[in-house]
């Protein structure tokens, strides 16, 4: 599903105005970085609740994915964090449906990353 257009440029420039026109034409929200600029939707935010621990023996792929999310988080790279998290969210749901993680694992992961 396509949610909107993410822009990480100063408002008012030619590129921004062109993207804004496309977003308005297609009826899509326009997401900006957290520079304080107004948005037509929401600002993308990175979130990791350090107080929520996850089971240490989660499937290896999830552990790798969480390490990559941590890397983006530590670098302040909200764009790649947000894009990559979409895939992680789908993987977590798939692992739950396949019985590879428990309902408690699912809830803990989603609380840790701000979904619940």
Question: Is the CB of residue 31 less than 8 Å from the CB of residue 43?
Answer: yes
pLDDT of residue 82: 86
Average predicted confidence (pLDDT) for the chain:
78
| Beta-ladder partners of 7 | 32
Pick the closest to residue 110 from 34, 37, 69, 52 (CA basis).
52
Which of 19-23, 65-69, 86-90 shows the highest mean pLDDT? 65-69
Q: For residues 48 and 111, give the distance between their C-alpha atoms in angstroms, rounded to a whole number.
A: 9
pLDDT > 50? residue 74:
yes
Q: Which of 19-23, 29-33, 70-74 has the lowest mean pLDDT?
A: 29-33
Band of pLDDT at residue 108, cut at 50, 70 and 90: very high
- Whether pTM exceeds 0.75: no
């Amino acid at each position: 599903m396509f949610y909107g257009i993410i822009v990480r440029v100063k408002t008012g420039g030619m590129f921004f105005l062109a993207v804004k026109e496309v977003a308005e034409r297609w009826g899509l929200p326009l997401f900006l970085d957290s520079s304080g600029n107004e948005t037509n939707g929401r600002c993308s935010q990175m979130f990791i609740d350090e107080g929520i621990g996850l089971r240490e023996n989660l499937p290896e792929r999830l552990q790798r994915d969480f390490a990559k999310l941590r890397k983006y988080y530590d670098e302040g790279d909200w764009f790649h964090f947000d894009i990559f998290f979409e895939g992680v969210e789908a993987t977590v749901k798939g692992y739950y449906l396949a019985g590879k993680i428990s309902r408690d694992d699912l809830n803990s992961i989603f609380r840790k990353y701000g979904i619940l």
